[in-house]
A and B are shown apart, each in its own frame.
Chain A
């Protein structure tokens, strides 16, 4: 009788092969991790500036005929008896948007948003200030009148020509409308389509089966179509043919809805297929019609998987910009949209717009907006994982 040698080693060539496989896996994981880390650090490093904003505290002593004059007068008060050139320099330290956005009626202390050049100087990005401006700024920093603070404007403002007051709120609202509507379009249609294809294809005729195969191939191919093609579809069909307004979140939602439809159909079909046949048998055996079985037993059992797949689809749609460029959602949006027919833009398009801007102040906004978008995506994916773990049925 032969004994089993548990200590036996693999032959050398297999050991070598095993070691090579092992190390290639390790290094693949390591490379991925390093790249991800690099990516996030760069984003964080570049974008962190956008979360703070340089502000100037000024003392308003007298109200002039216009806000602009009042602010200018208050700025002159920061330096003792400024000459003409210094005054010009002082006027340029504050953002020109303050004239139109602020409403100063009473004397008192006001906080003004600094001009992007000052902001960039304080953050040490670049120095475009004149010698006298720089001297004044340094002095004011020392006095605590110019300081960096948490940038609420980045969250609550919409896009602007001036980087110092540009924010993501408008794009966030646009994203909310667009994605919300896209779900409303795509989820019922996608789940209905998947249910039909999985639960009701049992007709006997050959033509019917061929039609089903044809649809299946189509849907699988749709998932691989480049997203800009969907934009072209939206442009040609929705805007040109149906005459819907350009830039509206409704059109964006329908386009993105078509985009995520195949993702939802495929994931829903997969999770419908994981529902065991025995459940259908049990329900049918009790005298339920096929529709009742589907609605009361199969769909609820498949729902965790369907919702997870839908969230993955949504995550894809949120990050999509190309199709939206085609249908004109690349608009310059100063006020958040108030309805689904208003011109709107979304976060990725906003990032695209900022990345395209010549002003250097937008560079950090771009990184910060990417960071925000990534955080939203990560949270969606975590939600998907949590839902799967929480509601998954182990058969």
Chain B
């Protein structure tokens, strides 16, 4: 079912190279023979109906699946030529530092806005002084388009922010540890349209510096923000291509019916 022409040509310029990936949750086969290249400074959208394995694939890129009981992974994911499933334990933490993740529901820590951002740099001892840490926090918030809104209340509890602000805070928190790839797992599904718009603009902005993979249920969103789109169905990648092609002239019948809203 895999589109051969696209998956079998090895793209040397790809940031992430997923090859023959299979993931099982216990007995259920969640990802079947997945091959996917993710290009640098691109937004790659993963779309597909619920339960098709988009989030599983996303979580496998920074090995968050390791925390799930009974999850088994076969195959390889290369990031810049290094197979992340062949590293020792300490390196997994470094991997998660370089491959940041933003979750479906905003999940700030129950601390101040400042502490939320500073937590990552403090963990990895990235700052040389208090002033340096302050500047990292400011820079991250600026990149997440949140600085103007929170500059006067950096030491207030993060729970006081609105949902959209909280989600941007989570993005800023991810940026603070200086990742190369940012994984967004349905980042707007819990947000209102205005906050969604803010996040989308932010994603387009972040593209310049980071490689972004986004899982979304919202096809219009995928169309608006992504360069490449991969369509999933029941654990398999049905079609990968430029967003324009997937939405306007897909090769596959299933893709066509999904993007035209016939099911999903």
A contacts, CB < 8 Å to B: 202, 204, 276, 278-289, 292, 296-297, 301, 393-395
4 new A-B contacts, CB < 8 A, other than A204-B69, A285-B101, A394-B159, are A279-B109, A282-B173, A284-B96, A297-B109
Contact, CB under 8 Å: A286 / B173: yes
Task: For the complex formed, measure the closest distance between the CB of A7 and the CB atoms of chain B, giving whole angstroms.
Answer: 39
Contact, CB under 8 Å: B109 / A292: no
Contact, CB under 8 Å: A202 / B69: yes
By a CB distance below 8 angstroms, the chain A residues around B96 are 284-287
Q: Which of B67, B70, B107 contacts A279 (CB 8 A)?
A: B107
Chain A: CB-nearest residue to B124:
A287
Chain B: CB-nearest residue to A289:
B93
Complex CA gap A395/B119 in Å reads 19
Task: For the complex formed, measure the closest distance between the CB of B9 and the CB atoms of chain A, giving whole angstroms.
Answer: 32
B110 within 8 A of A: yes
Report the number of A-B residue pairs with Cβ-Cβ less than 8 Å.
Answer: 66
B contacts, CB < 8 Å to A: 62, 64, 67, 69-70, 93-97, 100-101, 103, 105, 107-110, 119-120, 123-124, 159, 170, 173-174, 177
Contact, CB under 8 Å: A285 / B64: yes
Complex CA gap A278/B96 in Å reads 15
By a CB distance below 8 angstroms, the chain A residues around B109 are 279, 282-283, 297, 301
Q: Which of A281, A286, A393, A394 contacts B119 (CB 8 A)?
A: A286
Complex CA gap A202/B120 in Å reads 24
Contact, CB under 8 Å: A278 / B69: no
Complex CA gap A395/B126 in Å reads 29
By a CB distance below 8 angstroms, the chain B residues around A278 are 103, 105, 107
Q: Which of B70, B108, B159, B174 contacts A286 (CB 8 A)?
A: B174
Complex CA gap A394/B110 in Å reads 9
Q: Which of B67, B95, B107, B159 contacts A282 (CB 8 A)?
A: B107
By a CB distance below 8 angstroms, the chain A residues around B120 are 286-287
Contact, CB under 8 Å: B174 / A285: yes
7 pairs of A and B residues whose beta carbons are closest in the complex? A287-B97, A278-B107, A285-B101, A287-B96, A286-B120, A287-B93, A393-B110
Task: For the complex formed, measure the closest distance between the CB of B258 and the CB atoms of chain A, giving whole angstroms.
Answer: 28
Task: For the complex formed, measure the closest distance between the CB of A299 and the CB atoms of chain B, giving whole angstroms.
Answer: 12
Complex CA gap A204/B123 in Å reads 28
Chain B: CB-nearest residue to A209:
B69
By a CB distance below 8 angstroms, the chain B residues around A285 are 62, 64, 96, 100-101, 103, 174
Contact, CB under 8 Å: A301 / B100: no
By a CB distance below 8 angstroms, the chain B residues around A282 are 103, 107-109, 170, 173
Given A202-B69, A284-B96, A287-B96, the answer on whether A296 and B62 have CB atoms closer than 8 Å is no
Q: Which of A202, A286, A301, A393 contacts B67 (CB 8 A)?
A: A202
Contact, CB under 8 Å: B101 / A287: no
By a CB distance below 8 angstroms, the chain A residues around B70 are 204
By a CB distance below 8 angstroms, the chain B residues around A280 are 67
Complex CA gap A292/B67 in Å reads 15
